[in-house]
Amino acid sequence: MGKIIAAFAGVGKSYIGKKYPNVLDLESTYFKWLENNVAHLTEEKRKGRKDRILNPLWPQNYIEEMLKQKDKYDIILIQLSHKRLANEQIFKYLDKNKIEYFVARPNLTGWKYIEQRLRERGNTEEFIKQVKDNFKIFIKEFSKQKYNQIIIEDGKYLEDALIQKGMLK
């Protein structure tokens, strides 16, 4: 059974998903939004746009896909779950069903690295602002002891943290 890791934006989920065949980056964009009006844009340019239409099946469709894939991969990378993202049901489902998961997060001092990565990968200013507005709130929430934490040191990536913990080879 694969490990489920919910990770912060800009820590390298997509990179790991492409590099390692035993890792799935379960990109939430395709489940959360009806993409009809933004289909011509890249995945990164779609993020944070206010003109997208919420998929009425969200987040149940994402949870179902995660469960379907977790036996096929060693690691499933998912979106963080929080009421500010309108997806708190993801962690509630995992908790209720006693499915172990980890939260990968940077340190509070890591914003400058996250911001640089979001810019380098071509995210919109709107998306970068959303991530910045949530950064301290999310770090505070996901630093609580109730979460199995994977802490990503400043200037490092998720890959580095997973290798250090022996979760990735």
Q: Which residues contact 6 (CB under 8 A, 6 or more apart)?
A: 77, 78, 79, 80, 81, 90, 91, 101, 102, 103, 104
> So what's the pLDDT on residue 1?
76
Please tell me the distance from the alpha carbon of residue 12 to that of residue 55, in angstroms, as a whole number. 25
Rounded to 10 deg, the angle between the 89-96 and 60-69 helix axes is 50
Amino acid 52: pLDDT: 77
Task: Give the model's pLDDT for residue 30.
Answer: 86
Asked if the model's pLDDT at residue 162 lies above 80, the reply is yes
What the block records as the tokens of 79 is: 């979106």
pLDDT tens per residue across span 51-104: 778 899 999 999 999 999 999 999 999 988 766 666 688 999 999 999 999 999
Per-domain boundaries in the chain = 3-164
- Residue pair 102/6 in contact (Cβ under 8 Å)? The answer is yes
The predicted pLDDT at position 43 comes to: 67
Place of tokens 């998903």: 17
Report yes or no on whether pTM surpasses 0.85: yes
The per-residue pLDDT for 53 is 85
User: What does the alpha-carbon distance between residue 48 and residue 45 come to, in Å, rounded to a whole number?
Assistant: 8
Query: Top-level CATH class of 3-164?
Result: alpha beta
Which of the two residues, 86 and 12, has the higher pLDDT score?
12
List pLDDT tens digits, range 116-138: 999 999 999 998 999 999 999 99
